[in-house]
Amino acid sequence: MHLTWEFPPYKVGGIGTVLEDLTRSQLSQGIEPVVITCGFEGKVGYENRDGVHVYRFDADYIPAEDFHSWALQMSMLMQNKASEVMNEHKNIDIIHAHDWLVATAAVGVKHMYRIPLVSTIHALESGRYGGISGDRQELIHSLEKKLAYESWKIVCNSEFMKRSISYSLSIPHDKIDVIPNGVNIDKMRADFDHGAEKAKYALPHESIVFYVGRLVWEKGIDILVGAIPSILEKQPDAKFVFAGCGYMTDRLKKQAYDLGVADKVLFLGFVDDETLKRLLNISDVMVVPSRYEPFGITAVEAMSCGLPVVVADTGGLAETISHDIDGIKVWPESSNSLAWGICRILGDHNLAASLSENAYKKIEKQYNWSSISTRLKSVYDNVSKEYSANDWKPSVSVSQDG
């Protein structure tokens, strides 16, 4: 049973997309995935989504002073929904929680039904803001710690995250398994008129430098904007297209205006899956300038479309990309280094072609969902085996009593 606050069609970050692909691939592993998630705009109740059982509870009206207390109230409602579903599906073997937002629900259900809990920590609060300061961050940090403590096994998507979780949450290494996120290559293919699509964003002779992600500090988008003047000096036909939204949007627009490059930057805001797919197929280079990146799914998606990538040598990105083989790594927090990397790709078509070819092969081999869900299944199997040998069990089936 997966507990997640976002699941398609409702998406905020990358968890929803990852879970949709993961649960679908779990079906072929003989696993019967059940998802408990928020329902918005009246879309509540049960949905059989391509074989995945999805239960949505009403999260439309939860009054709250801030996002944190909203999340805690949402989590209590999630726990009630999960209990209802547990009583209905009597064959749930593992509870799989995704991030701190569902921590209270996951811990509550784990104890009441005495079923092992596995957690995927997709990102850490200490990484999002470069440390823990202030009472809101303390709350999230201690919830992450509690979730990790209560979990039988923790799954994360990179060695970088494993080290961060171990250090930040004081969790032993052997409790953490690294399983990367995957990408559905077939889903990334698109058949459309490239010229007409490109015309929506740039002139025919322009090269598109693309960024997708939240416009927030940790993503380092300000570093990319800072690099634009240097890039334009060498590559005057570059056009910068940014997809995504976030609290830094206005600040970034002002930064571009102050640097005199506002006419070369296009802020698209949130884009749907189809538009994103097309953008990945028409762009010339994808940039991931993150300060903090647990994994970097956007780089993997770009690579699966044969798009050369320039990434900051940080976090999970540093593990995914092999420099000068399937992408270019640049110094984190450095606009100059970023400009150098982007110009290399825009100025050398042979290099760009070689990088994209190698990148595609790597994704096809290492980041396909089939192998990823097999690895996750082996985590589940090990946990179930240990659980069977353990005396921590329900005395009666909770749902049978009463």
Partner 1 sequence: MQRPISYITNYRFKDVSQMNENEMNQLLLRKILRQLKIDPEDHEAQNTPRNILMISAEYLPKDLTPQSLHCKSLADGLVDKNMNVDVISYDPWKAGQTVEMGGVKVHYINNPIKTYSPLTWALTLAMEINRTASDIYHREGGIDLIHAHQWEMFPCGLSLQAAIKKPLIVNYYSLQHHRAPDVNNGYTDSVKQIEWRGSQKSQKVMVNEDWLKNEIIKYYSPEPQKVDVVNSEEKQWTKKIVRDYRWVFKNWNNGGYEQ
Binding site for partner 1 (CB under 8 A): 62-66, 68-69, 72-73, 75-76, 79-80, 83-84, 86-87, 103-104, 107-109, 111-114, 135-136, 138-139, 141-143, 145-146, 150, 393-396, 398-402
Strand ranges, E, within 60-195 = 95-98, 117-120, 153-156, 176-178
- Write the CA distances from 1 to 34, 117, 249, 295, 304, integer angstroms: 5, 10, 36, 23, 29
Instruction: Report the residue number, 100 or 201, with the smaller CB distance to partner 1.
Output: 100
Instruction: Report the residue number, 205 or 393, with the smaller CB distance to partner 1.
Output: 393
DSSP state for residue 69 in the 8-state scheme: H
Instruction: Report the residue number, 134 or 195, with the smaller CB distance to partner 1.
Output: 134
User: Sign of the C-alpha dihedral, residues 158, 162, 163, 165?
Assistant: positive
Instruction: Report the residue number, 89 or 136, with the smaller CB distance to partner 1.
Output: 136
Q: What angle is formed at CA 300 by the lines to CA 189 and CA 101, rounded to 5 degrees? A: 110
**Shortest reach from residue 143's CB to partner 1, in Å:** 6
**Shortest reach from residue 60's CB to partner 1, in Å:** 12
Instruction: Report the residue number, 49 or 146, with the smaller CB distance to partner 1.
Output: 146
Q: Are strands 45-49 and 52-58 parallel, antiparallel or unpaired?
A: antiparallel
**Shortest reach from residue 353's CB to partner 1, in Å:** 52
Strand ranges, E, within 192-317 = 207-212, 238-243, 265-269, 285-288, 309-312
**Shortest reach from residue 92's CB to partner 1, in Å:** 13
Q: Are 85 and 55 in contact (CB under 8 A)?
A: yes
Instruction: Report the residue number, 27 or 77, with the smaller CB distance to partner 1.
Output: 77
Question: Tokens representing 291?
Answer: 């300060």
**Shortest reach from residue 218's CB to partner 1, in Å:** 22
**106 contacts: CB under 8 Å, gap ≥ 6:** 3, 95, 97, 117, 119, 147, 150
Instruction: Report the residue number, 378 or 390, with the smaller CB distance to partner 1.
Output: 390
Instruction: Report the residue number, 95 or 317, with the smaller CB distance to partner 1.
Output: 95
DSSP state for residue 6 in the 8-state scheme: -
**Shortest reach from residue 121's CB to partner 1, in Å:** 16
DSSP state for residue 7 in the 8-state scheme: B
The secondary structure of 71-102, three-state, reads HHHHHHHHHHHHHHHHHHCCCCCCEEEECHHH
Instruction: Report the residue number, 150 or 177, with the smaller CB distance to partner 1.
Output: 150
**Shortest reach from residue 88's CB to partner 1, in Å:** 12
Instruction: Report the residue number, 82 or 287, with the smaller CB distance to partner 1.
Output: 82
Instruction: Report the residue number, 67 or 192, with the smaller CB distance to partner 1.
Output: 67
| Alpha carbon distance 259, 95 (integer Å) | 50
**Shortest reach from residue 38's CB to partner 1, in Å:** 16
Among 119, 102, 127, 177, CA closest to 374 = 177
**Shortest reach from residue 65's CB to partner 1, in Å:** 4
Q: Are 308 and 352 in contact (CB under 8 A)?
A: yes
**Shortest reach from residue 69's CB to partner 1, in Å:** 5
| Alpha carbon distance 26, 28 (integer Å) | 5
- Write the CA distances from 61 to 9, 38, 58, 157, integer angstroms: 19, 11, 8, 33
| Alpha carbon distance 390, 209 (integer Å) | 54
| Alpha carbon distance 254, 109 (integer Å) | 47
**Shortest reach from residue 99's CB to partner 1, in Å:** 15
